[in-house]
Amino acid sequence: MKAIELIAPEPGAFRQTELPEPKAGRGEVLVRLRAATLNFLDVAVAAGHFPVPGFPIIPVADGAGEIVALGEGVTALAVGERVIPHFMPNWQGGAITPHNVAALRGVNLPGSLAEYVAVPANSVVALPAHLDFVQGAALPIAATTAWNAVRSAQLRLGSVVVLLGTGGVSIFALQFAKAAGATVIIASSSDDKLQRARELGADHLINYRATPAWDETVLQLTAGRGADLVVETAGGATFARSINAAAMGGTVFTVGFVTGTAASIDLLPVIVKALRIVGNNTGSVADLAEAARAIAAHCIVPVIDQVFGIDETPAAYAALGSGGQHFGKVAILH
């Protein structure tokens, strides 16, 4: 089969290769992959900022395709079904454990830049009928993370959500929050991207280059109350502002570290406002299935910024790693 390998922890260290086609073992399905989408995790792996056991690897955690063969004992699925493999196949449901997150597609398991992959049958989720393969490939990390963010704050009609940036998680969170009836405030450095977010339903727009104290603007927009949920996708540079922007009893859901992992914060607002600081490592297969059902029920369409051919893999990585230029997801089509 054709595949792309990452041969070293260096940007652009990709090679096209031919590998033996995998076989579906007991309890597995063989998936013909049709598309993949990139996450910051994939860029971190390629830059040597996320550990892998060795090179070469078949990179990229997220993908989608159709089942072409069933392993022994698999009866609940059928050849031809369109599916999304979860990138942490051990994590079926429940709380996070070391075992659940020990196996990662695109890190220590074969990823999505290959024609075929064999995965546990219980790690795939049905692709919503209204989505194509590129859109479906956007779901495993970004949609699952955004879904868990929305659930963590128990959003309802009238809740206020603050989103930082316009990457995959933020845009999915915007779509889920609007489906729940929440008011969404979104911050970006680009007026063009803010207008695109408005078209998706964002209620208030903040250009954080023009308004660096965006947290104060959030408080003004909410009459001093703050947000029920802040989805913190940036990292250390914005964490203190996220805490300031949160309402009493609110949730700061932290998932990103593009501005670094170190943050200096004042604990007093966390204590006085009884904030919930929630870390997240995506979620389980069950979480992905719930997110996919919500996407199907509300006819949510994932936002794909750019689609590259598989022979353009280095350019796709460069597009995601270029410093927040994308809106939604960057995809690679097989």
Model confidence pLDDT, tens digit, residues 273-307: 999 999 999 999 999 999 999 999 999 999 999 99
What integer pLDDT is reported at residue 193 of this predicted model?
96
Count of helices and strands (H, E) across the chain: 10, 15
What integer pLDDT is reported at residue 267 of this predicted model?
81
User: What mean pLDDT do residues 9-14 have?
Assistant: 92
What integer pLDDT is reported at residue 231 of this predicted model?
96
Distance CA 298, CA 300 (A): 5
User: What mean pLDDT do residues 32-61 have?
Assistant: 96
Q: Is the pLDDT of residue 17 over 90?
A: yes
* Average pLDDT in the chain: 95
CATH superfamily of 2-138+302-333: Medium-chain alcohol dehydrogenases, catalytic domain (3.90.180.10)
Domain with CATH 3.40.50.720 in the chain: 145-279
* 198-203 contacts at long range (C-beta below 8 A, 24 or more positions apart): 200/171, 200/174, 200/175, 200/303, 201/174, 201/175, 202/163, 202/174
What integer pLDDT is reported at residue 263 of this predicted model?
64
- What is the DSSP secondary structure assignment for residue 95, as one 8-state letter? S
pTM of this structure: 0.94
pLDDT band for position 242 (cuts 50, 70, 90): very high
Domain with CATH 3.90.180.10 in the chain: 2-138+302-333
Q: Name the fold adopted by 145-279.
A: Rossmann fold (3.40.50)
Q: Is the pLDDT of residue 170 over 60?
A: yes
What integer pLDDT is reported at residue 236 of this predicted model?
66
| Interval 119-133: pLDDT, tens | 999 999 999 999 999
Letter for the amino acid at 270? V
User: What mean pLDDT do residues 79-108 have?
Assistant: 97
